[in-house]
Structure 1
Amino acid sequence: MTGAPPQGPAAPDDVIRTSGLTKRFRGGQLAVDGLDLAVPRGSVFGFLGPNGSGKTTTIRMLMGLIAPTSGVATVLGSPMPQSIGSVLPRVGALIEGPALYGYLSGRDNLARFDAADPTSDPRTRALRVTGALERVGLTAAAGKKARAYSLGMKQRLGLASALLQPRELLVLDEPTNGLDPQGMREIRSLVREVAAEGTTVFLSSHLLDEIEQVCTHAAVMSKGRLVVQGTVTELAARAQGRLVVRTPDVALAAEVLGGRQVTDLRTDQARVDGVTGTLGDDELPKLCAALVEAGVRVHGFGVERGTLEDAFVALTGEGFDVAG
């Protein structure tokens, strides 16, 4: 795992690859700073960072919507934006929310999007539209005007437009924006389904929980720069596990655990948390016994593995929305 992939031509298994990708807007605002990114073919790649970290700007450069100030981007083996005409028909994308015709129904919006695709067969358009509506749970609302859709329904319709045809690459920018918890679960399930069919998914999100649940690989952005990239397992492993003791005797438990060199103690009325650090498995039973011997009423004792949230805070010193 590294903050920068090897330089040189894109590897056959890299669906997306950037080198020194930079975007500076008028006025000097540096939105993306020297990004080196490698997205393996077949992965569900989470592009993670707080709002304003440069994620959407990066995606717009990858899709040829804006030109980089410097650096290069390769998508599906071709440079962007130079190859936009040959690359985009192989990509499904939902960027910065769907652009819908409010006066058309959901079904008619999808038919319009499909008709704009030069690779689509008009003879099978109705079948594709119906299938896409079913996949995102909008069949019952297919005849309703898009202007009457809720934010979540519009997001679903935008996702349906990206799924009208099988694509080599699916690019999703905050796909669960505006969805309730049930809708989020459904979209995550759909992402897994699309990936299982062989499509590489590039998913931008500020929700750590979302990335951890559906992604195989991830990259962390902060203030326009790439902090780290690798598999989700590797990223989470950067965070230390946490020893959790649930007890009404918080002060006494903290004293005992502190004496056993467990650091970063945080206390509240119900539990004591301590970072396990280098504690071995054989030391955990000794810690539990020490608590009992000291008269601590132990209601719960165990180790929670490190999470992406822990890793992100450790890497950047900042946190962001981790709700899912």
Structure 2
Amino acid sequence: MADLSTADGSTVIATRALTKRYRGGQLAVDGLDLDVPAGSIFGFLGPNGSGKTTTIRMLMGLIQPTSGTARVLGHPVPRAVRTVLPEVGALIEGPALYGFLSGRDNLLRYDAADPVADPRTRRARVAAALDRVGLTAAAGKRAKAYSLGMKQRLGLASALLQPRRLLVLDEPTNGLDPQGMREIRALVRELASDGTTVFLSSHLLDEIEQVCTHAAVMARGRLITQGPVASLVSGLRGRLTVTTPDPGDAARILKEQGVTDIMVTGDQVTGDPPESELAELNAALVSAGVRVRGFGLEQPSLEDAYVALTGEGFDVAG
């Protein structure tokens, strides 16, 4: 079994054979070996029901694993959770808020419950956290009047009240509009540039692809793959797209040249190219009299990688 030590600071989360089985036999997490590099923005990716939140709850000491081991910031959890949690900011399954209190007063109460928080700087830190998530103008409004997106922002602000070595975010853009999602992505990048490792769980492939440096892919409770985001798609070849006023002829020629899974949509023909040079495909089209107005290979995405790895679409139950 690999060493779980993080004495050199290179890994902030490490699990080995981490497993959670609920009563009734439901296997939520199955033998998870996870390594989260320090300083990374690590995307924990998988459809709803794939075991992401259960894993996070075990890492934060909220539930006991059935078997296996985990270390966070070099310490075993849940045994050393009291040592670990002061250095971790977390937003898990949405924020728990006092609806009758204002956003500002919710944060003041959160901070007062933190045994390591300095009460002398409390109001200044609350104001700074509200400003970072764009809630200064709504700080005096009762939390029960907040929209879902505003509640998500307030929960994120609670995780930012103190400097943290690790920030754990479970679906942080849930309920946010596109502008709010962009702002949260920018904030995550800013935090990472300041030295915080960000562990970000999401079922949104596009979100992970835009912001994360590393990712792990979960499906049905099992880890499918993990590593730098670029390496997860590097082994895939993109999809060929040809734009032409002669789509029927183009599809026929491409099929003869070994292109598979051909689809014709208007004046576009797409397919999975063979290993031969793309220039040869283009030359074959031109030689056959096909008028080629566009020819290129789309870059593969995380969604392509997920489908290639699991053989199924991303929006699945599990």
TM-score (norm 2): 0.95
Residues 95 and 154 of structure 2 are in contact (CA less than 8 Å); yes or no, is this contact kept in structure 1? yes
**Could you tell me the percent identity over the aligned residues?**
71
1:76-118 C-alpha deviation (Å, 9 max, x unpaired)? 0001111111100000000000000000111111111111111
1:22 aligned to 2:19?
Answer: yes
C-alpha distance in 1 between matches for 2:209 and 2:66: 32
For residues 163-242 of structure 1, what are the structure 2 equivalents within 5 Å?
163-242=160-239
C-alpha distance in 1 between matches for 2:275 and 2:237: 9
Aligned equivalent of 2:123: 126
1:155 aligned to 2:149?
Answer: no
Three-state SS of the structure 2 residue aligned to 1:36 is strand
Aligned equivalent of 1:8: 3
Shift of 1:237: 1.1
Aligned equivalent of 1:304: 298
For residues 34-45 of structure 1, what are the structure 2 equivalents within 5 Å?
34-45=31-42
Three-state SS of the structure 2 residue aligned to 1:156 is helix
Aligned equivalent of 1:316: 310
C-alpha distance in 1 between matches for 2:201 and 2:291: 45
Go from structure 1 to structure 2 and tell me whether the alpha carbon gap of 1:212 and 1:65 turns closer, same or farther (over 3 Å shift). same
Shift of 1:277: 4.2
Aligned equivalent of 1:271: 268
1:86 aligned to 2:80?
Answer: no
Q: 1:94 is matched by which residue type in structure 2? A: L
1:244 aligned to 2:238?
Answer: no
Aligned equivalent of 1:141: 138
Shift of 1:265: 1.7
C-alpha distance in 1 between matches for 2:51 and 2:116: 32
Residues 238 and 306 of structure 1 are in contact (CA less than 8 Å); yes or no, is this contact kept in structure 2? no
Three-state SS of the structure 1 residue aligned to 2:198 is strand
Aligned equivalent of 1:3: none
Q: 2:157 is matched by which residue type in structure 1? A: A
Shift of 1:294: 2.3
Structure 1 gaps of 5+ residues are 1-5
Shift of 1:164: 1.0
C-alpha distance in 2 between matches for 1:247 and 1:93: 51
Q: 1:320 is matched by which residue type in structure 2? A: F
Q: 2:72 is matched by which residue type in structure 1? A: V
Structure 2 gaps of 5+ residues are none
Shift of 1:42: 0.6
C-alpha distance in 2 between matches for 1:263 and 1:10: 47
C-alpha distance in 2 between matches for 1:78 and 1:321: 35
TM-score (norm 1): 0.94
C-alpha distance in 2 between matches for 1:22 and 1:248: 55
Shift of 1:269: 1.9
C-alpha distance in 2 between matches for 1:105 and 1:299: 59
Residues 240 and 277 of structure 1 are in contact (CA less than 8 Å); yes or no, is this contact kept in structure 2? no
Q: 2:311 is matched by which residue type in structure 1? A: G
C-alpha distance in 2 between matches for 1:301 and 1:204: 36
Residues 208 and 321 of structure 1 are in contact (CA less than 8 Å); yes or no, is this contact kept in structure 2? no
C-alpha distance in 1 between matches for 2:122 and 2:282: 64
C-alpha distance in 1 between matches for 2:4 and 2:100: 46
Q: 2:99 is matched by which residue type in structure 1? A: G
1:293 aligned to 2:275?
Answer: no
Q: 1:170 is matched by which residue type in structure 2? A: L
Residues 17 and 33 of structure 2 are in contact (CA less than 8 Å); yes or no, is this contact kept in structure 1? yes
Q: 2:107 aligns with which of 106, 110, 129?
A: 110
Which runs of structure 1 show a deviation greater than 4 angstroms over 4 or more consecutive aligned residues?
A: none
